[in-house]
């Protein structure tokens, strides 16, 4: 039994060095080649950091594009889903309230036009993107509130749409913060 204990301790020591020192250093080194140098892609407006590309933010003013709802109030320290299932009455009420709010501020859309990402929170509660359809249903509202031509706002949506990963994986999506910054810059 004694040889197994020594062997186990040696293996533990080797794995601790590999997984607690070597691997994190490799990941940090690889991250230094990314756009944000390992610190995340910072989004700036007028030289000031206003957010990060991978963290959603709350937009509730009618003149801005709204993002995906968050179960954690966009708190990055408490990233989580709601854990409420589709049969939970509280969850169903939340979804119903979100639909009502969207229809109130976007009276020209039909309930069936609302994509799921506009009324359900993501698993992390921090999703920064919405679907292309989620942005398109908001174009008329934003154009009206900002007194802009709908075509200009629709062109802005198309310009900020990211296609599927490698052209194959996942749907097209739009980063809401980047889109709203571009919207503010629109003349």
Residues 133-155 pLDDT 10s = 999 999 999 999 999 999 999 99
157 vs 132: CA distance, rounded Å: 8
Domain limits for position 53? 47-185
Count of CB atoms situated within 10 Å of the CB of 159: 10
The backbone torsions φ and ψ at residue 43, rounded to the nearest 5 degrees and listed phi first, read -105, 125
Q: Can you name the residues that pair with 51 across neighbouring β-strands?
A: 43
Q: Is residue 94 part of a domain?
A: yes
Predicted pLDDT at 54: 81
> Would you state the torsion angle of the CA atoms of residues 146, 59, 44, 81, taken in this order, to the nearest 10 degrees?
-150
pLDDT at 110: 93
In a domain, 38, yes or no: no
DSSP string, 103-140: HHH-TTS-GGG--GGGTS--SSS---EEEHHHHHTTHH
Give the count of domains, the chain: 2
In this prediction, residue 102 carries a pLDDT of 94
Q: Within this chain, do residues 71 and 123 fall inside the same structural domain, yes or no? A: yes
Instruction: Give me the pLDDT at residue 89, please.
Output: 93
Report yes or no: 57 and 72 within 8 Å, Cβ to Cβ: no
Give pLDDT, residue 77.
79
* Amino acid 123: pLDDT: 80
Domain assignment present for residue 39? The answer is no
The values of phi and psi at residue 97, to 5°, are: -65, -40
Q: Classify 152 as helix, strand or coil.
A: helix
What pLDDT, on a 0 to 100 scale, did the predictor assign at position 47?
83
Query: According to the model, what pLDDT value does residue 170 have?
Result: 83
Count CB-CB contacts under 10 A for residue 118.
23
Q: Note down pLDDT in tens along the chain; length 187 residues.
A: 777 898 999 999 999 999 999 999 999 888 888 776 777 778 888 888 878 878 888 898 999 999 999 888 888 777 877 778 889 999 999 999 999 999 999 999 999 999 999 999 888 878 899 999 999 999 999 999 999 999 999 999 999 999 888 888 888 899 999 999 999 988 6
* Residues 78/119, Cβ–Cβ less than 8 Å: no
Q: Does residue 107 fall inside a structural domain? A: yes
82 with 156, same domain?
Answer: yes
| pLDDT number for residue 42 | 80
């Amino acid at each position: 039994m004694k040889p197994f204990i020594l062997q186990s301790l040696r293996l533990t020591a080797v794995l601790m060095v590999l997984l607690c020192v070597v691997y994190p250093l490799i990941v940090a080194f690889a991250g230094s080649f990314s756009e944000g140098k390992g610190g995340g892609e910072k989004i700036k407006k007028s030289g000031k950091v206003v957010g990060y590309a991978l963290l959603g933010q709350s937009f509730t003013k009618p003149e801005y594009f709204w993002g995906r709802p968050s179960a954690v109030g966009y708190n990055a320290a408490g990233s989580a889903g709601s854990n409420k299932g589709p049969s939970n009455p509280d969850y169903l009420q939340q979804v119903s309230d979100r639909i009502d709010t969207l229809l109130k501020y976007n009276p020209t859309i039909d309930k069936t036009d609302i994509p799921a990402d506009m009324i359900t929170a993501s698993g992390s509660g921090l999703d920064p993107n919405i679907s292309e359809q989620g942005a398109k249903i908001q174009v008329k509202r934003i154009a009206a509130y900002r007194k802009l031509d709908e075509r200009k706002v629709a062109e802005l949506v198309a310009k900020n749409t990211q296609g599927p990963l490698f052209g194959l994986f996942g749907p097209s999506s739009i980063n809401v913060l980047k889109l709203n910054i571009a919207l503010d810059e629109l003349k």
